[in-house]
Amino acid sequence: MIFVNDLTNIADHESFSVDGLGTAKLLIVQCALDRYREIQTSDPVRVLRSQIRDLQTEKNAREQEVAILKAFGKSMAQNPDLTPDQARAFSDTLFDKVLACAETVRDIDEKMLQLNLKINKIQNTRFGALFTRAVITIVAEEDVPVQLRLTYRAEE
């Protein structure tokens, strides 16, 4: 048996053909696809996922900060001792802080999206696009060196 690893997963298994050069006569040629994946996640993916978790923690903290600011704003609005000028100044400050947090959350979401795109690109090139193995079984009349050529069509 001969194993040809790291073929694209879009290979059309119906189109596989093997031909050989040499003095051997090929009696049986079978080609089957064996889907496999590397078990261990690569270090770049692990690092990117860690960065996403850190960003998610920061995002959660910012969202919690907005909830606290809003709750504090509601309690301050019910304070009878607050003058109109104090209320306006407080409201402006609160509004600016909530907007800043919302902008930070949007930035974090964008960074997380970009990191996820990087992960997808790594996985599609290392794990998703290259994880097909052709298993070629050859029976020949005699044991001699042969050069084989595997051809196939990619599905679209």
Residue 82 sits at the vertex; the CA angle it makes with 79 and 87, to the nearest 5 degrees, is 105
Is the Cβ–Cβ distance between 149 and 19 less than 8 Å? yes
Half-sphere exposure of 146 (CA within 13 A, CB side): 20
Query: Has residue 8 got a pLDDT over 80?
Result: no
Tens of pLDDT, residue by residue over 120-151, are: 777 666 544 445 667 776 666 777 787 888 88
